[in-house]
């Protein structure tokens, strides 16, 4: 949904691209399954937090006493918010070498797949096409995958990533790797949903 002044309403301005990159990383196929029980997840995260109960409690948004209870096995069934935090943190920190290898492959050889629903507009020398919402699934070349991952690591904002995704989609989907529609450029600033796959 677009406001009358052409901007995206505040409710839709989220870190969709950044979140999608994090989700893609968490979906990497690991060599060993991540811990499933709350106690095992808490123990793993405790180790990753350099055995600091305080640091882990802050990371999960709970009290130090809560961390101690789960580690001791006194509590085993976390409430929804804590359960979600445990799963997300465990998946994001599990087997960092495997995730690093997947990122390296995406940036050097395999690229990524992207599925995006966004408001896309086009410019081309001598003509234009009004923008509209489209859903597109297309591969992204290793060059663009490397740029997206580099920007993510450098702390880029959502607005920094949009032009790179737009260029990648233009190259692979609209110009078919430079074989048609020479000079076409797709822009989007209104991302409804996006998913990447390494």
For residue range 1-54, list pLDDT tens digits in order. Answer: 344 444 444 434 478 999 999 888 888 877 788 899 999 999 999 999 999 999
Predicted local confidence at residue 168, as pLDDT: 92
Mean pLDDT of 66-94: 91
Predicted local confidence at residue 51, as pLDDT: 92
Predicted local confidence at residue 50, as pLDDT: 93
Lowest mean pLDDT segment, chosen from 60-64, 80-84, 104-108, 189-193? 189-193
Does position 127 have pLDDT exceeding 70, yes or no? no
Predicted local confidence at residue 129, as pLDDT: 59
Summary mean pLDDT of the chain: 84
Does position 94 have pLDDT exceeding 50, yes or no? yes
Predicted local confidence at residue 148, as pLDDT: 95
Both tokens of 172, joined, read: 């692979």
Contact call for residues 146 and 104 (beta carbons, < 8 A): no
Starting at the edge strand found earlier in the chain, the sheet holding 112-124 runs: 127-140, 112-124, 185-197
Predicted local confidence at residue 8, as pLDDT: 47
66 phi and psi, to 5 degrees?
Answer: -60, -45
pLDDT band per the 50, 70, 90 thresholds, residue 59: very high
pTM: 0.70
73: left (phi over 0), alpha (psi -120 to 50) or beta: left
Both tokens of 64, joined, read: 């130090």
Coil, strand or helix: which one is 34?
coil
- pLDDT tens-digit map of 155-197: 999 889 989 998 898 888 888 776 776 777 777 767 889 999 9
């Amino acid at each position: 949904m677009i406001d009358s002044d052409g901007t995206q309403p505040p409710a839709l301005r989220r870190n969709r691209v950044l979140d999608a990159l994090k989700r893609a990383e968490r979906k990497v196929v690991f060599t060993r399954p991540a811990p499933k029980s709350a106690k095992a997840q808490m123990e793993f995260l405790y180790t990753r937090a350099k055995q600091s109960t305080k640091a882990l409690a802050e990371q999960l948004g709970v009290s130090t006493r809560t961390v101690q209870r789960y580690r001791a096995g006194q509590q085993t069934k976390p409430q929804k918010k804590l359960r979600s935090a445990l799963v997300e943190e465990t998946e994001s920190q599990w087997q960092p070498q495997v995730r690093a290898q997947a990122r390296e492959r995406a940036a050097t050889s395999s690229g990524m797949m992207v599925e995006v629903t966004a408001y896309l507009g086009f410019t081309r020398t001598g003509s234009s096409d009004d923008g509209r919402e489209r859903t597109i699934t297309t591969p992204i070349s290793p060059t663009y995958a490397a740029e997206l991952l580099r920007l993510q690591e450098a702390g880029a904002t959502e607005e920094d990533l949009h032009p790179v995704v737009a260029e990648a989609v233009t190259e692979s989907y609209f110009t078919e790797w430079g074989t048609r529609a020479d000079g076409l450029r797709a822009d989007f600033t209104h991302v409804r949903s996006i998913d990447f796959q390494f």
